[in-house]
Amino acid sequence: MTATRVLVLNSGSSSLKYQLLDMADGSKLATGLVERIGEAASRCVHTLLAHGGSTRDSTREQSGHIADHAAALKAIAAELDADGLGLDSPELAAIGHRVVHGGLRFTAPTVVDDAVLQEIERLVPVAPLHNPANIIGIRTARELRPDLPQVAVFDTAFHTTMPESAARYAIDVETADAHRIRRYGFHGTSHAYVSRKTAALLGRTPDEVNVIVLHLGNGASASAVAGGVCVDTSMGLTPLEGLVMGTRSGDIDPAVIFHLTRVAGMSVDEIDALLNKKSGLVGLCGDNDMREIVRRMDEGDRRAELAFAIYIHRLKKYIGAYTAVLGRVDAVAFTAGVGENSAPVRAAAVAGLDGLGLAVDAGLNAVRSDKARLISPEGSRVAVAVVPTDEEREIAQQVYALVND
């Protein structure tokens, strides 16, 4: 029997999400997550997906204490086993792990061995929030199936093609190099998948088109992709730089930090929490769900209007900047929770940009769909697209391609 299944694991600090795919036909067999790991009431949700449709999906939910990631993965393995999809199945070809930070070393998916794991550990200082959880996920999976290829797929990998002019900060080179300070970018798996899908939507190959991808979720980032190659992205050393996000400030004058230290007496940790957790949309208006913000705007809520205006202003600046970086733009693609679902955000982001060849058709923009689609008027110079992202599928494809090489 050929092994064609790939289990994709996405470990967060207190959660573990998974999807099981069969790469023989690209179908998704199961999906789920364990959340609130380490808390008294952890929750495990497992869905067995019906082949080719959602009508026969069955979901099981359990709560109870799940102490750590090892226990979480064992709970997931038990759920999969109950559906005849266990980790010991000969059909399982590999386990793919989303790893947030791969530094400069990891430019492609990599089979994990001890040396690779050590290198991912070496990157913890530049990704303190994410890499430790990813490492625990990999270690646990290796213990459960030591014989199986465990493949790390890095969020930063797609951005390693950025030229130095885009990747370096204009600070003292020795200091930057000593501490590995540069712009790495994140959400790379999504930017890679969506830019390729956008080319396909236009009936072209990735090397023929220049695309601006706007990944607007709770975290948000933009990227400029020239002929399939990333040439700039909005996140930097960490996922804090760039667009206005759900709870993160995005771009800010670094002197704000000195000012808060000197004038407000805030500690570095307090400022870190302020900029990462209490800023962005939530800091501006108290909500980070775009649905709620638009609903409040409809009621004339001024704070929601201001938050939306700041969010859109920043987005427009990046569309303009990346138009200049690319020289010629064939498509702008919206993706992730906000990008895929919020027609008001898409309309506002391109409003007034007809000088750049950008426009959306109100009717097309209003259609709700989970399919990749164009929303620009026929004959537009630049296509505007909505392209649902699928990071798990992209990870599974990369993993399967590597283990079958």
Binding of ligand ADP by 341 (CB under 6 A): yes
Q: How far is the CB of 109 from ligand ADP (least distance, A)?
A: 21
Residue 248, Cβ density class (10 Å: 0-12 exposed, 13-18 middle, ≥19 buried): buried
| Contact between 280 and 246 (Cβ < 8 Å) | yes
Draw the binding track, 291-330, toward ligand ADP (x: CB under 6 A; -: no contact).
x---------------------------------------
Q: Confirm or reject binding of residue 285 to ligand ADP (CB under 6 A).
A: no
Nearer to ligand ADP, 259 or 295 (CB): 295
Q: Which residues contact 335 (CB under 8 A, 6 or more apart)?
A: 190, 194, 213, 214, 215, 216, 386, 387, 388, 389
Q: Which is nearer to ligand ADP, 233 or 342 (CB)?
A: 342
Name which of 79 and 392 has its Cβ closer to ligand ADP: 392
Please tell me which residue in 22, 81, 113, 155 is annotated as part of the active site.
155
Q: How far is it, in rounded angstroms, from Cα 2 to Cα 299? A: 58
- Residues 114, 182, 159, CA angle at the centre, nearest 5°? 70
If DSSP codes are grouped into helix, strand and coil, which group holds residue 220? Answer: strand
State the nearest-atom distance from the C-beta of 8 to ligand ADP, in Å: 15
33 binds ligand ADP (CB under 6 A): no
Decide if residue 217 touches ligand ADP (CB under 6 A): yes
Using CB under 6 A as the binding rule, whether residue 338 contacts ligand ADP is answered as: yes
What are the structure tokens assigned to 85, written together? 């999809």
Contacting residue, 153, 243, 290, 395, with ligand ADP by CB under 6 A? 290
269/291 Cα distance (integer angstroms): 31
- Identity of the amino acid at 168: R
Residues 342-381 contacting ligand ADP, CB under 6 A: 342
Q: Which is closer to ligand ADP, CB of 189 or CB of 288?
A: 288
Q: Is residue 19 at the binding interface for ligand ADP, with CB under 6 A as the rule?
A: no
Q: How many CB atoms lie within 10 A of CB 179?
A: 11
Give the span between the Cα atoms of 404 and 390, in whole angstroms.
21
Phi, psi of 55 (to 5 degrees): -70, -30
Contact with ligand ADP (CB under 6 A) among 185, 236, 246, 388: 246
Phi, psi of 131 (to 5 degrees): -60, -35
Question: Does 12 sit near ligand ADP (CB under 6 A)?
Answer: no
- What secondary structure does DSSP assign to 42-58, as a single string? EEEEEEEPPTTSSTT-E
The residue (of 171 and 366) whose beta carbon lies closer to ligand ADP is 366
* 218 counts as binding ligand ADP under rule CB under 6 A: yes
225's CB contacts (< 8 A; 6+ apart) are 191, 195, 210, 211, 212, 213, 231
At residue 240's C-alpha, the angle toward residues 236 and 241, to 5°, is 50
Please identify which residue in 337, 346, 383, 395 interacts with ligand ADP, judged by CB under 6 A. 337
Q: Are strands 58-64 and 42-48 parallel, antiparallel or unpaired?
A: antiparallel
# binding residues, ligand ADP (CB under 6 A)? 13
Residue 155 annotated to the active site: yes
| Residue range at the interface with ligand ADP (CB under 6 A); choices 113-121, 225-233, 287-295, 307-315 | 287-295
Q: Which is nearer to ligand ADP, 262 or 371 (CB)?
A: 371
**How many whole angstroms separate alpha carbon 141 and alpha carbon 43?**
20
From 83, 119, 270, 289, residue interacting with ligand ADP (rule: CB under 6 A): 289
Between 213 and 226, name the residue whose CB sits nearer to ligand ADP: 213
* Interface ranges with ligand ADP (CB under 6 A): 217-219, 246, 288-291, 336-338, 341-342
Q: Which residues are catalytic?
A: 155
